[in-house]
Chain A
Amino acid sequence: MKTTPLYDAYPRGASFIDFYGWNMPVWFDSIEREHMSVRTASGVFDISHMNRTRVKGRDAASFLDLMCTANASLTKPGRLMYTYLLNEKGGIIDDGIFTRLAEDEFLFVTNACTKERVDGWLLEHSRGFAHLSLEPDSVDNAMIALQGPTSLELLRRVLGVDLTTMKRFEALVQGGAIFSTSGYTGEKGAEVVAGGEYLRTAFRKLVEAGAKPCGLGARDTLRLEMGYPLACVDTNEDVTPLELGGERFVDLTKKFVGREGLLGRRTSRRFMGVITDGTVVLRGGYTVVLDGDMIPLTSGTLSPVLKRGIGLGFFPAGTEAGKRVKVSTRRGEVGGTITIPPFLGRR
C-alpha cells in the first residue's frame, strides 16, 4: 500500500484502511467527534490520494471541453468547475473538479478509485490535440481539505492565506500552491494543493491551532448528510448526470464525449434520499420498500447531527419527497421518509 506525503504529520492512534491501494486513516479519534468538529468549528483532512492531472497547452481548454460536461473555455483563470466525465453512452466514468490556473493551464482533480480508467480515457482522447500536455501531478505534492465555520479564519491566521472574501469555487495561487474555496462537506472551507513538505508543516500547524484531524470515515458521513454522491459507490458507468439531478453541470450547447448518448436516454430513475424515524445505521445494500418494490440503497450511515439513519439510492422518477416507506435493515424493518437531499438545513 502507498502512503501520502502527509503520513508523517498524522497524529498517533489513527485506525487505517486500504483505500484503493492507499493506507488511509478512517478516523484519528472518532468519526462522530471529527464530523461534529467540521460542522461546528474546523477539521483538516489528508486528501492527497485523489487523482490530480495537470492539463497544459494552447489546446488545454478545448481538450477539457471535449472530455467534460462542463464548459472549460468559459471558465476564467482563478475559477473552479464541477464536472462529469462521460463515456460514449452518456454514463459517468467519474466526477471531478477542474481549476483554471491560467489561459493554458488547468488542474483536474478526479477520484482515486477511477485513476486507471480516467488516466487511460484522457490519454486516448488526447491524441488528436497538437498543443496539449497531460501529466500526473508530482507524487511529491499533497492535498488537504480544511473545512468548517472557522476554517477560513484559521487558514488566514495560521498560514497567512486569506480566502475570506472570495466566493465559492475560486482559487488563489501563491508560490505554486493552489488554495481554493471548495470542499465535500457542505461547510465553508478550503482545499489546498501544494508540495508535500509545505503541507506536512501546514497540517501540523493547523492541528496545533485547533483544527481537528479527520479521516475518511467523517469525510463519508459529512458528504452523506449533504446528499453528495460518491464515485464507485453511488455512481458507476450505468448512471447518467440526469439521474443524479446534475443538469446544471452539463453544457449541452457544446460538443463533448457522451453528449449524443446522454440525449438518447430516457431518465426513469432519480438519485434521492431516505431518512429513518429512529436511530439506526443505514448501509449500502439495505432496501427501501416502496409500492411493493425493493429499492437498494447505494450508500448510507447514521447522521451524527440528526441521529437518524440516512441513505441514498436510485428511486423511480416521480417518487415524491415526503413519501412514507419502510427500510429493511439488519434489525428488521424501520419507518422512513423519502427526502430530497441535503438532509441538513442550509449551512
Chain B
Amino acid sequence: MSKIPDTLFYSKEHEWVKVEENGLCTVGITDYAQSKLGDVVTVDLPKPGDRVEFMKEAANIESFKAVSEVYSPLSGEVVEVNSRLSEDPGAVNSDPYGRGWLFRVRPSNLDGELARLMKAEEYRRLVEGESA
C-alpha cells in the first residue's frame, strides 16, 4: 500500500507539499510516484533564487526506466534544494517524504494554491483509481 501522510497536500502529478512552521514549503514526490519510477539515478533540481510556478516544470528525476518531470505544486521562489540527492539519489525511493525531499519554496500565493491541491484522502482515491 502506498504511503500517503495525512499532514501533506498533494498535486495530481504526484508531488507533495509540507507547510513548515516558518512559512516555507517543502516539496517532493510521493511514495506512489517513486514506486512507478523505480531506482532513481539522477535528480536535476532548480537553483536557489529560481522562480517556480504552480504546476509548471521545476525539476527532473531520471530512473533506469525513464526521465520524469516534477511540477512545482506552488508558485514562489526556491530558497533551498536538497543537494544530498546528488550523492544519494536513492533517498527519493527509500524515503520520499523525508530525506528524499527535493526543494523548498517561499510561496507567493499559498492559500490560493493550497485550495487547488488535494488532501490525503482525495489523493488516495486518485492513486487507487490509477492502480485499478
State the A residues within 8 Å of B (CB).
15, 26-27, 30-32, 217, 221, 279-281, 301-302, 330-331
Q: Once the chains bind, are A330 and B39 in contact (CB under 8 Å)?
A: no
Give A221 to B42 CA distance when docked, in angstroms. Answer: 17
Give A31 to B38 CA distance when docked, in angstroms. Answer: 7
Chain A residues, Cβ within 8 Å of B126: none
Q: Once the chains bind, are B67 and A330 in contact (CB under 8 Å)?
A: yes
Q: Once the chains bind, are B64 and A15 in contact (CB under 8 Å)?
A: no
Give A281 to B36 CA distance when docked, in angstroms. Answer: 18
Expressed in whole angstroms, the minimum distance between the Cβ of A214 and any Cβ of chain B is 13
Q: Once the chains bind, are A279 and B42 in contact (CB under 8 Å)?
A: yes
Q: Once the chains bind, are A281 and B39 in contact (CB under 8 Å)?
A: no
Give A280 to B41 CA distance when docked, in angstroms. Answer: 8
Chain B residues, Cβ within 8 Å of A26: 38, 65
Q: Once the chains bind, are A15 and B42 in contact (CB under 8 Å)?
A: no
Q: Once the chains bind, are A279 and B41 in contact (CB under 8 Å)?
A: yes
Q: Which of B24-49 contact A (CB under 8 A)?
A: 35-36, 38-39, 41-42, 44
Size bracket, chain B contacts? 10 to 19
Q: Which chain A residue shows the least CB distance to B39?
A: A32
Q: Which chain A residue shows the least CB distance to B67?
A: A330
Q: Once the chains bind, are B38 and A281 in contact (CB under 8 Å)?
A: no
Q: Which chain B residue shows the least CB distance to A30?
A: B39
Contact of B41 among A27, A217, A302, A330 (CB under 8 A): A302
Interface flag for B11 (CB, 8 Å): no
Chain A residues, Cβ within 8 Å of B35: 15
Q: Once the chains bind, are A302 and B67 in contact (CB under 8 Å)?
A: no
Expressed in whole angstroms, the minimum distance between the Cβ of A249 and any Cβ of chain B is 30
Chain A residues, Cβ within 8 Å of B65: 26, 31, 217
Contact of B64 among A279, A280, A301 (CB under 8 A): A301
Give A26 to B64 CA distance when docked, in angstroms. Answer: 11
Chain A residues, Cβ within 8 Å of B44: 331
Give A21 to B123 CA distance when docked, in angstroms. Answer: 32
Chain B residues, Cβ within 8 Å of A301: 64
Q: List 7 A-B contacts (CB under 8 A).
A: A26-B38, A27-B38, A32-B39, A217-B65, A221-B64, A281-B64, A331-B42
Give A345 to B65 CA distance when docked, in angstroms. Answer: 26
Interface flag for B72 (CB, 8 Å): no
Expressed in whole angstroms, the minimum distance between the Cβ of A212 and any Cβ of chain B is 14
Expressed in whole angstroms, the minimum distance between the Cβ of B80 and any Cβ of chain A is 22
Expressed in whole angstroms, the minimum distance between the Cβ of A230 and any Cβ of chain B is 15
Q: Which chain A residue shows the least CB distance to B62?
A: A281
Give A302 to B67 CA distance when docked, in angstroms. Answer: 13
Chain B residues, Cβ within 8 Å of A221: 64
Q: Once the chains bind, are B67 and A15 in contact (CB under 8 Å)?
A: no
Q: Once the chains bind, are B38 and A30 in contact (CB under 8 Å)?
A: yes
Q: Which chain B residue shows the least CB distance to A302?
A: B41
Q: Which chain A residue shows the least CB distance to B93?
A: A30
Expressed in whole angstroms, the minimum distance between the Cβ of A284 and any Cβ of chain B is 13
CB-CB under 8 A for A217 and B38, given A26-B65, A281-B62, A302-B64: yes
> Which of B35, B64, B93 lies at the interface centre, i.e. has the most chain A CB atoms within 10 A of its CB?
B64
Expressed in whole angstroms, the minimum distance between the Cβ of B29 and any Cβ of chain A is 16
Expressed in whole angstroms, the minimum distance between the Cβ of B47 and any Cβ of chain A is 15
Chain A residues, Cβ within 8 Å of B36: 15
Q: Once the chains bind, are A217 and B64 in contact (CB under 8 Å)?
A: yes
Known: A31-B39, A31-B65, A217-B65. 11 other contacts (CB 8 A): A30-B39, A31-B38, A32-B39, A217-B64, A279-B41, A280-B42, A281-B41, A302-B41, A330-B62, A330-B67, A331-B42
Expressed in whole angstroms, the minimum distance between the Cβ of B50 and any Cβ of chain A is 17
Expressed in whole angstroms, the minimum distance between the Cβ of A16 and any Cβ of chain B is 11
CB-CB under 8 A for A31 and B67, given A279-B42, A281-B41: no
